[in-house]
Chains A and B, each alone.
Chain A
């Protein structure tokens, strides 16, 4: 049968053509492994005797799921880049391509009933927490089909158990500790993932949050997404100590390879188990990298070299790493993954179509959602004769 397989594969059209029925049958009949064991990098530990395991099992199903999710985030961010350059998206737009292993890996390590809050580089997390690409792109273009009805934009997207999307650097960290307080208060064994960047790590309010979280043993996982640059300032120029996983001092910490999704997943599982056992907060530093600049108004090459970006892309790209692992362990074939690429591309195209064509929210709704649960009232506009109705 393997000879037959080889013969058939020679006569198939090139891989860029859409798969024919024959190749689908081929793929289905090929024997993939159900799962494979991989070695992952050992995490640096702070105030911890043991860390996450150094080997992990990846099932074929999970692998395909993670691949699809990471590819979707990648394509969505690149589409947002394109739409921004066409001036269909305006305002702020902070892209997370290069950091896909963080958002997908974190989600893989927690339950949907757990909570997550992050800063403004939030599109990837918005997707992994359950919103569709359609809703996200439509929110970026400011249309009424967006997840916040076009009133939040890039930095203010919310979903169930996902608290944004926060514009003020560092403010989300005490918020996350508060969500963890609610988890403990309700007694439901849930944890809160509270993310911030290497730039935000120097904010005073984060240390206030560390203190209270440790004092009250809140089930809060503080996660520093260290992509080496806080806007245009490299970590060496901003922090006296760049060991962000140690900055929690009395809070145990681990430093994780944020480009390897399996490493992120295992570390997250470890951290979540730690918090759920009632031991209090824990800190994770994810070492990752962003290909784009800080935001769309930053080309991203004035404070780092193109060579550096290229090196990371070629050696540590998270999607490439997962793909190589899966193909080399016979968890999936190149064609199968390419098929997923094509499907993802189509999904993003459709979403972008919707996001471009959907109408903007009507002007009459400008004053809506000022107060919650209140009867309608009038809001003064630019002068005393312009009034907007406000509905909760």
Chain B
């Protein structure tokens, strides 16, 4: 029996993130002749991380192009080709190398539609692994979500699982704007269940919409890319202690889906942001700043019972969410004061009536 169980296959609907991206690119290459892929080792090597496996064999030299090690040069060539009407996918072996080419991404791609008064669009996709890998040292581990997310004119997406990866790469290729797709090397080999709709050739995930991966009532946990998995693991652990986390997978960094995050925070009154980037001037810092500024008008109308004129939250972005280190945040309601009890976690703080006290 033990021998037989070893032969049991994984269910057929499971697809790794790598294969999902491969499928997405393959379908778009087939659908539109103007789409092509260029980057280091993407053709004959089948991709540095094998993400473009089989594509060169299928489409040939014209559409899958191996480049020399010249990031600034080939990123500029890709942007120029996009300006002239093609739809390039420009792969950076990792986004750390995109720093060599960042002028082309920002100044030549992102800003051009605006500066030309709407005359010159740049339908390009920049993709590649982003963030930390396994012990590759500082130069190869930077997360660029905050850097690229800072710039108007760019769209920035950060898929977590296979469904995200396929849907977002397809939407990115079909989008007429420059889109940065921040993948994750450690996720490439991870299999996920592929829902039936994701198997369609027209499966798209809209850019600019977050997904609530897990419903909860006590605390909102917002994340993107690989840390989403960690948040779900932490949520499972916390659930046993009676804390229900609402885990939001951002999917898109820019334009950020603040509505989903705000609605969740209105419900739970607590927020943790989790990311792979550095805390100062990071994605979490931006989310906190926007929450601190106050909810949008739309939500005031929808959630008039939970009126908070100014919500004051302290949040810290952390690399790993562990069961015991869930941080407690105080929200100060300006007009209503409730009975003041001193908090257990923050002695002396009596501004909220959360269940920790």
Contacts and interface: CB of A to CB of B under 8 A. Distances in A.
The number of chain A residues touching the other chain, given as a range, is: 35 or more
A167 B67 CA distance: 26
Contacts of A392: 118
A183 B62 CA distance: 12
Interface string A202-223: 0011001101100110000000
B321 interface: no
A158 B77 contact: no
Contacts of A370: 113-114, 152-153
Interface stretch (B48-56, B80-88, B196-204): B80-88
A54 to B, nearest CB: 34
Interface residues of B, number: 45
Contacts of A175: 76-77, 79-80, 83, 104, 108
B264 to A, nearest CB: 19
Given A171-B104, A211-B70, A182 B116 contact: no
B215 interface: no
Given A215-B68, A372-B121, A373-B121, A209 B116 contact: no
Interface string A144-163: 00111111100010100001
A148 B81 contact: no
B113 A158 contact: no
Nearest to A377: B255
B117 A151 contact: yes
B76 A177 contact: yes
B84 A178 contact: yes
A205 B78 CA distance: 13
Contact of A178 (B77, B107, B112): B77
A369 B121 CA distance: 10
Interface string A287-328: 000000000000000000000000000000000000000000
B72 interface: yes
A205 B118 contact: no
Contact of A171 (B36, B81, B107, B255): B107
A158 B119 CA distance: 7
A163 B76 contact: no
A309 B70 CA distance: 40
A178 B109 CA distance: 13
A19 interface: no
A355 to B, nearest CB: 16
Contact of B75 (A149, A156, A158, A174): A174
Given A148-B117, A171-B76, A371 B84 contact: no
B116 A181 contact: no
Contact of B83 (A163, A209, A368): A163
A209 B77 contact: yes
B142 interface: no
Interface in B57-116: 62, 65, 67-68, 70, 72-86, 103-104, 107-108, 112-116
A377 B78 CA distance: 28
Interface in B113-171: 113-121, 123, 152-153, 155
B70 A208 contact: yes
Contacts of B155: 371
Contacts of B108: 166, 168, 171, 175
Nearest to A176: B80
A372 B122 CA distance: 9
Given A158-B116, A372-B176, A377-B255, A205 B72 contact: yes
B177 A182 contact: no
A374 B176 CA distance: 9
Interface string A353-374: 0000000000000001111111
A384 interface: yes
Nearest to B123: A372
A209 B115 CA distance: 24
A182 B81 CA distance: 5
A173 interface: yes
A186 B81 CA distance: 11
B74 A164 contact: no
Contacts of A176: 80
Contact of A148 (B115, B123, B176): B115
A167 B84 CA distance: 19
Contacts of B32: none
B106 to A, nearest CB: 10
Contacts of A151: 114-117
Q: Which of B112, B114, B117, B152 has the most CB of A within 10 A?
A: B117
Contacts of A183: 84
A216 B76 CA distance: 15
Contacts of B65: 216
B80 A163 contact: yes
B119 A208 contact: no
Contacts of B75: 174
A179 B62 contact: no
B73 A205 contact: yes
Given A149-B118, A171-B107, 4 more contacts: A158-B116, A177-B73, A178-B79, A212-B73
Interface of A: 115, 117, 146-152, 156, 158, 163-164, 166-168, 171, 173-183, 185-186, 204-205, 208-209, 211-212, 215-216, 368-374, 377, 379, 384, 392
Interface of B: 36, 62, 65, 67-68, 70, 72-86, 103-104, 107-108, 112-121, 123, 152-153, 155, 175-177, 255, 293-294
Top 9 A-B pairs, shortest CB-CB distance: A178-B80, A174-B76, A208-B73, A149-B117, A182-B84, A175-B80, A208-B70, A148-B117, A178-B77
